[in-house]
Amino acid sequence: MGTGKRGLLVVAVTVVCAVTVWGAPGTAFASPSPSPTPSSTAGSTAPALPSTASNKDLEAVRTQLEALYHDAAVATDAYNAAEEAAKRQSAEIVALATKIVEGREKLDDLKDRAGAAARSQYRTGGLPDEAQLMLSDDPTEFLNGAGRVLQGERATKGLLSELTRTQEDLEQYSTDASAQWQKLETGRKTKAAAQKKIETQIAAAEKLESQLEKEDKKRLEQLEAQAAQQAQTAWLSTGVLAEINSSATAQGTKAVQYATAQTGKPYVWGAEGPDSFDCSGLTSEAWKSAGRAIPRTSQEQWNQLPHIAVADMRPGDLIIYFDDASHVAMYVGDGLIVHAPRPGRTVTLAGAGSMPILGVVRPDA
């Protein structure tokens, strides 16, 4: 039994120490050093560009960059999801550790009380209360003693039951803490794998862009802008904007004000502000500033928030992009969004139809 007690206390101390390490400030989005070398697959697909690339070459580069950054966005969502899960699991472990320590103290107190009862019995010559009562010649004492015996029996049974429950609770807390620790460890591996993929995809994209001459980089940006404009024009040509006429709520207005105030700040994967953001970091923080907590990742925002028809969209609603919900932006009105596009870009306004729309969700439905 003594070994079991010590084991429970060790579990409590261990989980507290472990969570302290996991929850240390500054570890969530630490920049890697050094950056990993891009995978051979990513690097081998990069075309060898001439000093002045043709439009066809630049279009191929644009398409490839789009694919690389899309894959990085998917991995970023996985990283952010693992990060959020780690926060929840760490909090649960801390709570369980607290319960273990409190339960251990309660168990010690109960055993002290049981020991006191045993010592009291020893002082009375080892006779149980019932035997002492039968030896009494005083009727009044007999009647008073009968009540005390009954109370004592109930107290003893209650004490033993509480001891048993407390021991069972401690064992369950220990089991639960171990399970949460295992989830935390699994999540750490998931997050590490996602981080590696993010870094690999971004490094491949940066390597590809580094092959371009300064003039070609400008032309590439123009091609990106043209592609976005063509998509926006096609979206507007459907007449959808004429159907969108809902006004923002008070909370929606606050969220839009927060998001648009971040324009010009750089995209950094995993970032939630205040100096940089990724796409879902911007939208989740904007709505947090408006007093409403929403899921951290674009995929969970799509999965958990109420879906709204595009025609019913109002400022503050979130537009989810691509079939895998790997990007999110905030609708600000007049056919425009504010979003954190990708690495190498800053928070900016863009056309709501400039990317393939999966659907719209409403945080304050």
Catalytic residue selected from 17, 70, 279, 307:
279
Query: Closest Cα to residue 231, out of 350, 330, 58?
Result: 350
A 10 A CB-CB count for 55 gives: 9
> Which among 17, 70, 307, 327 is annotated as catalytic?
327
279 flagged as catalytic = yes
Strands of the chain, DSSP E: 307-308, 318-321, 327-333, 336-339, 348-351, 357-361
Q: 295: how many CB neighbours lie within 10 A of its CB?
A: 21
339 catalytically annotated: yes
Residues of 56-84 as b/e, b for ≥16 C-beta within 10 angstroms? ebbebbbebbeebbbbbbbbbbbbbbbbb
Return the active site residues: 279, 327, 339
